[in-house]
Amino acid sequence: MIEKLTFGRTGHMSTRTLFGAAALSRVTQADADRTLDVLLQYGVNHIDTAASYGDAELRIGPWMEKHRSDFFLATKTEKRTYQEAWEELQRSLDRLRVDYVDLWQMHILVDPDEWEVAMGPGGALEAFIEAREKGLVRFLGVTGHGVTVAAMHMRSLERFDFDSVLLPYNYAMMQNPQYAADFEALLAVCRERNVAVQTIKSLARGPWGDKPRTWATWYEPLEDQAEIDAAVHWVLSRPGIFLNTVGDIDLLPKVLDAASRFRQYESAGELEPELAAMGLTPLFVA
């Protein structure tokens, strides 16, 4: 089984490997239901989806009718105004077939102009606060991609006391000195405030470039089990953070298998020679 850790201040003991439901965006319900069996097999108890993940919320909805109590359920919105965000939350609740979600997140909040709208008068933040007050959501978070995301999350935490953050964390990204410094600064603040830290893109080998796209991910993923083991174990070697799984249901079992076999290394540095030899390239550059 996969190790569990308290998800920040929420009190929920989440598996350190969370199900990234972008993997359900373009699958049938039958394939989604087989994926549920895999999650239950490994004891995964935390689902992270988004309104923008194609049909993912629709695929999760039938699961919730039998398994709502088995999962911490998170979704996201990219809407920046109060009205748009509020309306999208109602749609997400309908699609997920639930009365509330455990975590609602402002998705990909990295553009400074969008940030000003979301955090300003009539912005999405007002909808987030109201939704929590009305019991439609329990906790609030912020997510993002790109090399500026850690710095933008710091700005968001200065504006509002979010319960979680989500951002890229992999060996290639952390070779960028500025990104690494921003990530460490954010992690320190999150530890101080007991904010949950979710990480993404652990399996990214690099951009597809001209290669044929053989997986459902928008980037080229690692696919060899030994390489997946090294990448997953490198992330999990960092105490206190969570790993969101890859966006392809056929790679998911390999990720969960790796996570289930994780042992604590003395330091992530033990894995770095192996990772350095893989020729990983960052998805995001300055």
**Vertex 253: Cα angle to 172 and 16 (nearest 5):** 65
Q: Tokens for 159?
A: 């504006």
Q: Can you tell me which residue has the tokens 């996201």?
A: 76
In this prediction, residue 267 carries a pLDDT of 63
Two tokens, residue 25: 């965006």
- Helices 252-260, 225-236: inter-axial angle, 10-degree rounding: 60
Q: What is the pLDDT of residue 266?
A: 57
196-200 and 164-168 as β-strands: parallel, antiparallel, unpaired?
Answer: parallel
At 270 the pLDDT is 84
Residue 80 has a pLDDT of: 98
Task: Map out the domains of the chain with their CATH numbers.
Answer: 4-276 (3.20.20.100)
Structure tokens given for 10 = 């929420």
Question: Quick one: tokens of 135?
Answer: 């019991």
The single-letter code of the amino acid at 53 is Y
For residue 244 the two structure tokens come to 């969101």
Residues in the chain: 286
Q: What are the average pLDDT values for consecutive 10-residue runs of the chain, which has 286 residues? A: 96 98 98 98 98 98 97 98 98 98 98 98 98 98 98 98 98 96 98 98 96 95 97 95 98 98 76 93 88
Task: Cite the beta strand spans of the chain per DSSP E.
Answer: 4-6, 13-15, 17-20, 46-48, 72-77, 101-106, 137-143, 164-168, 196-200, 204-206, 220-221, 241-244
* pTM of structure: 0.96
Phi/psi of residue 267, nearest 5 degrees: -160, 155
The residues, any chain, with a CB within 8 Å of residue 112's CB and separated by 6 or more, are 152
Q: State residue 1's pLDDT score.
A: 82
The rounded radius of gyration (Å) of the Cα atoms in the chain is 18
Beta strands 13-15 and 4-6: pairing type? antiparallel
Q: Which two tokens stand for residue 38?
A: 């895999």
